[in-house]
Structure 1
Amino acid sequence: MARKALGKGIHALIPEETPVEEVLNLDLSDIEPNPYEPRESKEDEGLPELVKSIKEKGLIQPLVVRRRQSGFQLICGGRRLRAAKMAGLEKIPAVVKVATDSEVLELAIIENVQREDLDPIEEASAYRNLMRTFGYTQNEVATKVGRDRSTVANMLRLLELPEKIRSYIRSGKLSSGHGRALLAIKGNPARLALAEKIVRRSLTVRDIEKEASKSKGRKARRKDPDILNLEMEISQLLGTRVRITTGKKKGKIEIEFYTRDDFDRILYLLREVTSE
């Protein structure tokens, strides 16, 4: 599914009702980095082209910053700021806005996600950062960044993979689809071995799904539609991912939580249900 592109104007980032102070030409030395920058890797193959464009035409789209005691703090436009420094600019246009810490993080993530500037692992880490820092549920994160909850949940699952596999996904040697398929393999040693095989042989996601079936010694059994409906119903009720596993004599319900506050929220909801 194609991502919704960010508009060209600054209003695409800042809704009209959001307080904006003014647009200024700021000294680059007065702008400190965004502490919530979601991009983990600062390497960018397209940066030289942006530097060249800035040298020839200047910076067309201003940065977004907020005031701090010692100057200004970047909200959006880290890539443009780096390119401006490389281009030798001394001043740069910036929109100064009023923003809380959570709004700074949200805007930085939204800008990068919608511009497709984040690799899948950076995107997943950004979602987890929102949840851990501000106690958001998966549903709330999905609403903030304009994604389906299932998309957010699938991205977060990538963080369960070993670091070596995550590095392959960051570098583009593996896709997020490969990563999700590897999660079906039991045990990290087997996942790592298969990941190396994917890189060596350029295997497809479908190839990995076949390997996952073989590793189980049988074709994966389809989950009962009634169980799937129950999982969805409970997930919507609790605002988090729920898995139901059934056996011949017993079963298991797994409820995910990401912070202590998230755990307390889920516990409160469960107590409310049982008290009715």
Structure 2
Amino acid sequence: MAKATKKQALGRGLSALLKDPENDIQSATDKNADKVVGNIVELDVEAIEMNPFQPRSNFNDEALKELASSIRQLGVIQPITVRKLEFNKYQLVSGERRYRASRLVGLTTIPAYIRIANDQESLEMALVENIQRQDLDPIEIALSYQRLIDEIQLTQEQLSDRVGKKRSTITNYMRLLRLDPIIQTGMRDGFLSMGHGRALVNIEKKADQIALYEKIIGQNLSVRETERAVKAYHEGGPSEKQKPKSTKIPEFAEGNIKKFTDHLSVKVAISASEKGNGKITIPFHSKEEFQRIKKLILGE
């Protein structure tokens, strides 16, 4: 406990040093830079801005609240990383979940490692650190790899060294970007796994990808079953007896899809036959969204 208190006091001391205009550190060669760069410093939350290069775009509200609860009890165990922009102004490099959760519980300061970096270095640090340390979905990882190649101008061999992944692993992720955007969204929303995506990407025509994607969702196909379906597709498709029935939705059902979607504010799917039997599928992505939809339907 004494060691933790001493480290915290040191962080506050360095924070005071940074707030002194006479010690405005702009480069690693400036006076007192060695006392700050690479050390843990308590920074004002309001002095930190979000990183425009952040690859993560989806943050699970429930997981964020759980992290906030942990921070309320134990504090921020793992410091965030920031880069210095100007006097007493910083930009987040990595640790956005910790930063968001800290603000959620009302913390005014947060422990941080300070880096001095230009925009390109900041982009590279943000992408590499998030790939290594954050629970990104497969499409976010693929997009991060693509940005490192395009914007930092790395080869796949160099990228492999930077992120510590085999080149084949990087290739498998980046191939997912060849999937139709609708399927990419389905992966980001958790409707199908990377294994499903790796199988689907072997189908070149986007329309055929979508057709099989809908079958995976509608019939809850496993990865192995999806691989067999892709193999059958390349062998000329299933026999007439095995071909799926037409997915055309009867007019009475199709005319109501938009009404359901507008009312519930989620993309509702309807499958039905001309005889009138079928099902309505209402997706939700969190406990809060489930409760909201339940209230709209049941009035509870």
**Aligned partners of 1:64 and 1:98: how far apart in 2?**
11
CA contact (8 A) 2:79 2:112 kept: yes
**Aligned partners of 1:116 and 1:73: how far apart in 2?**
18
CA contact (8 A) 2:84 2:117 kept: no
1:186 Cα deviation (Å)? Answer: 3.3
Q: Pick the aligned partner of 2:160 from 120, 123, 142.
A: 142
Kindly report the root-mean-square deviation, in angstroms, between the aligned alpha carbons of the 2 structures. 1.9
Percent same amino acid among aligned pairs? Answer: 43
- Output one character per residue of 1:56-78: Cα deviation in whole Å (capped at 9) or x when no partner: 12111211111102600111110
Q: Which amino acid aligns with 1:171?
A: D
- Output one character per residue of 1:156-180: Cα deviation in whole Å (capped at 9) or x when no partner: 1101111110011111111111111
CA contact (8 A) 1:65 1:96 kept: yes
Say yes or no: does 1:96 pair with 2:127. Answer: no
Name 2:70's counterpart in structure 1: 53
110-119 or 145-154: bigger deviation:
110-119
Q: Which amino acid aligns with 1:206?
A: R
Name 1:198's counterpart in structure 2: 216
Q: Which amino acid aligns with 2:108?
A: E
1:49 Cα deviation (Å)? Answer: 1.0
Aligned residue for 1:42, secondary structure, equals coil
CA contact (8 A) 2:131 2:144 kept: no
Name 1:125's counterpart in structure 2: 143
Name 1:69's counterpart in structure 2: 86
Q: Pick the aligned partner of 1:189 from 188, 207, 213.
A: 207
Say yes or no: does 1:29 pair with 2:29. Answer: no
Q: Which amino acid aligns with 2:121?
A: E
1:114 Cα deviation (Å)? Answer: 2.6
**Aligned partners of 2:57 and 2:143: how far apart in 1?**
9
CA contact (8 A) 1:178 1:205 kept: yes
122-131 or 210-219: bigger deviation:
210-219
The TM-score normalised by the length of structure 1 is 0.68
Where do 1:140-179 residues align within 5 Å? 140-179=158-197
CA contact (8 A) 1:21 1:98 kept: no
1:218 Cα deviation (Å)? Answer: 5.5
Q: Which amino acid aligns with 1:215?
A: Y
CA contact (8 A) 2:127 2:148 kept: no
Aligned residue for 1:45, secondary structure, equals helix
Gap runs ≥5 in structure 1 = 1-18, 220-276
**Aligned partners of 1:186 and 1:168: how far apart in 2?**
18
Q: Which amino acid aligns with 1:130?
A: L
How many aligned positions are there? 201
- Output one character per residue of 1:28-82: Cα deviation in whole Å (capped at 9) or x when no partner: 1110111211102133431111111111121112111111026001111100000
Name 1:111's counterpart in structure 2: 129
**Aligned partners of 1:45 and 1:106: how far apart in 2?**
29
| Structure with bigger gyration radius | 2
**Aligned partners of 1:178 and 1:23: how far apart in 2?**
42
CA contact (8 A) 1:22 1:97 kept: no
